[in-house]
């Protein structure tokens, strides 16, 4: 059974992974938002308003819809990775409590 210090070190490593994933996610999303800005003038109103507009499906170009889907996929992919790491952290915290 690993020592408490080893578990805490593993937990800190997992938090570093989460922070790295959040940074990568933000970078990828910023690139997509820049692409989206070129094809969708409604971005002037803000991304959230555009998402509401897209989900109501009123006059959105195919290119804009494709970028919207890519943005959603990026968010889902990173959320799944981060959720998996959170689960590992939770398991390590439980293990740490039993030591």
Dump pLDDT digits (tens) for 75-90.
999 999 999 999 999 9
Could you tell me if 74 and 28 are in contact, meaning their C-beta atoms sit under 8 angstroms apart? yes
Task: Tell whether pTM > 0.85.
Answer: no
pLDDT at 54 over 90: no
pLDDT value of position 66: 87
| Burial bucket for residue 50 (CB in 10 Å: 0-12, 13-18, 19+) | buried
pLDDT (average), residues 48-72: 74
């Amino acid at each position: 059974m690993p020592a408490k210090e080893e578990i805490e070190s593993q937990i800190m490593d997992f938090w570093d992974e989460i922070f790295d994933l959040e940074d990568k996610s933000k970078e990828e999303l910023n690139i997509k938002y820049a692409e989206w800005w070129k094809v969708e003038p409604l971005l002037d109103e803000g991304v959230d308003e555009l998402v509401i507009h897209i989900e109501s499906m009123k006059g959105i170009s195919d290119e804009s819809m494709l970028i919207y889907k890519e943005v959603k996929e990026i968010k889902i992919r990173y959320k799944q990775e981060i959720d998996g790491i959170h689960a590992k952290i939770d398991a390590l915290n439980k293990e740490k409590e039993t030591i």
